[in-house]
Structure 1
């Protein structure tokens, strides 16, 4: 994301005009969350967000929803749809895992191993960086058992397994499946453009090594709406249906995306690293936001506030917005939405 224009202190010789001062101020993203400790606001997190109406128009926004961002793992539904377009026949838990940032729980890792074996692949062919389970509790158990970082344990291993399987099916090179001009990654790029309704301004490399296509927040929200509204049987709808039917495979048993999709039937929700969140409701309304400093601790409070402003009323919102701050072992504050 483009950094906001710095605001310089005016010199005595030359003060900024009212118009230029207003322009500089408008470039500073709004505060979306506050860090409150012992009744004192000790920190603020700025960012941008957008909410789409059921017809896909922008209903309201804060900050700059038109600037490109890297959606990170919020792009995974589009990557999963690409493997279906490549001819790979996945469904159910397997397709949900192909769109997952899984927690590394035993049922996640067991299914990745099963999928590799089903397609004649091995964990050594995964080009994910060796990692620990994403979930802190699973990571502690993993280390306590004496194991070390593995490629299979990395939270994107389901996606990479599906990508490798699609390449094997088509006779495409396996060793270069993450290269930007690989046939599979070109399918991903086409799918991102189609779902978002916009071109890709930047292509980078994600934490897992896969090509990463930028979108505006409006384009990201539009893509999630596209998946929910797609015709049954299309790759996009198949991915959305699998994620919503098996949300525990998309995230994990202790993750907000799972809780939301379980508690709000028909909802499609996916977070991404560096504090990105996208969600579409079954009525076609959608949202996306990005916290500029990448603080993922803000995601739950901000998402709950946006959903309430959209008229959603469900106990799960209290669960996801609870982000306590501790002083010693006692709760002394919280991360809270500030808009």
Structure 2
């Protein structure tokens, strides 16, 4: 079977929404330990690729050279939501890095979070490239181009040397030959990569367990990058978002992407997971990840509780009255 029902939402006992998809978990022998649906389903990383796309920054020692704080460095891996602390850090980075805002290829945008977006609209503030959720990633791209002597023009094209470097890193971490990686274009205009779901899980396994990376230089960069993510989880998304919630647990490396893809690795358990919700929903990520952790007997119950609080199983209406349920319907195979 290619996919299965992951989550059902019911109202007064009637099924209202069904979220189908697939889940894969791999162990440190790169074997499939858990499988729901087709583990070979080709899936675009979308923003779950950001930690991989940020690795060249950590390979080049940019943080030390330009005097970045580790909090600022976390934004290279982030899908920031436009909160004040995000914008302040990005403004600080612009002053330190050899980057001009107009050079960013990501579009002009307003913040993703409602409160800062509405505040800017009330003040008649204009959209900026810096407010785009991928701004940190693009600042990293331009900085690396200047460090390595790559041209700035076209840094977003797949044949650009930077994108080819990222492609090679992705191939190494995922164990998928470059010739078998499908390449599209992401929302911010840069290349986006698709590989089998199982290999996405392998990628996050290696991010969580960098001793599995043979290249010692790459291994060191991954350790530095994931440490920054865990130290400053709210820079990766913001409060009340699953990425920041999971990264508060120092045992977890996690990042989601658009259209229902989510990846995470568990350090102590030496497991990597990737999942895809085929209707593109992100709303049920907390339910699915909480169920995965419960089914494998994850020891940090506080992390599971935070996930359950983020997306309760009970659906309430606007008056706070219970009207339905959200239930996971999958069993890890």
Bin the TM-score by the shorter chain. Answer: 0.7 to 0.9
1:150-189 matches, cutoff 5 A = 150-189=128-167
1:273 pairs with 233, 238, 258, which one?
258
TM, length-normalised to structure 2: 0.88
In structure 1, the partner of 2:311 is: 321
Larger Rg: 1
* 1:328 to partner: Cα distance: 4.3
1:214 pairs with 194, 215, 221, which one?
194
1:298 pairs with 254, 267, 284, which one?
284
Indicate the SS of the match to 1:297.
Answer: coil
**Do the aligned residues in 2 keep the contact of 1:83 with 1:184 (CA within 8 Å)?**
no
Aligned mates of 1:136, 1:56 — CA distance in 2 = 41
2:47 pairs with 73, 86, 99, which one?
73
> Comparing 144-153 with 316-325, which one deviates more in the overlay?
316-325
**Do the aligned residues in 2 keep the contact of 1:302 with 1:321 (CA within 8 Å)?**
no
TM, length-normalised to structure 1: 0.86
In structure 2, the partner of 1:230 is: 210
Instruction: Provide structure 2 residue ranges, at least 5 long, that are not aligned to the other structure.
Output: none
Aligned mates of 1:228, 1:256 — CA distance in 2 = 17
1:260 aligns to 2:238 (yes or no): no
Indicate the SS of the match to 1:180.
Answer: coil
**Do the aligned residues in 1 keep the contact of 2:106 with 2:138 (CA within 8 Å)?**
yes
Deviation string, structure 1 residues 123-180 (Cα, Å, up to 9, x no partner): 1111111222122233222322322322110111001011111112223211211111
* 1:293 to partner: Cα distance: 1.0
Deviation string, structure 1 residues 72-109 (Cα, Å, up to 9, x no partner): 01111110112333553467223311000111111111
> Comparing 321-330 with 75-84, which one deviates more in the overlay?
321-330
Aligned mates of 2:111, 2:234 — CA distance in 1 = 15
> Cα–Cα, structure 1 residues 99 and 142, in superposed 2: closer, same or farther, change >3 Å?
same
Aligned mates of 1:123, 1:63 — CA distance in 2 = 43
In structure 2, the partner of 1:13 is: none
> Comparing 66-75 with 134-143, which one deviates more in the overlay?
134-143
1:333 pairs with 321, 324, 327, which one?
324
Aligned mates of 1:116, 1:305 — CA distance in 2 = 41
1:96 aligns to 2:74 (yes or no): yes
Indicate the SS of the match to 1:319.
Answer: helix
1:4-19 matches, cutoff 5 A = none
> Comparing 202-211 with 82-91, which one deviates more in the overlay?
82-91
CA RMSD of aligned residues (A): 2.0
Instruction: Provide structure 1 residue ranges, at least 5 long, that are not aligned to the other structure.
Output: 1-25
In structure 2, the partner of 1:46 is: 20
Aligned mates of 2:313, 2:235 — CA distance in 1 = 23
2:169 pairs with 186, 191, 195, which one?
191
Aligned mates of 1:280, 1:320 — CA distance in 2 = 20
> Cα–Cα, structure 1 residues 148 and 39, in superposed 2: closer, same or farther, change >3 Å?
farther
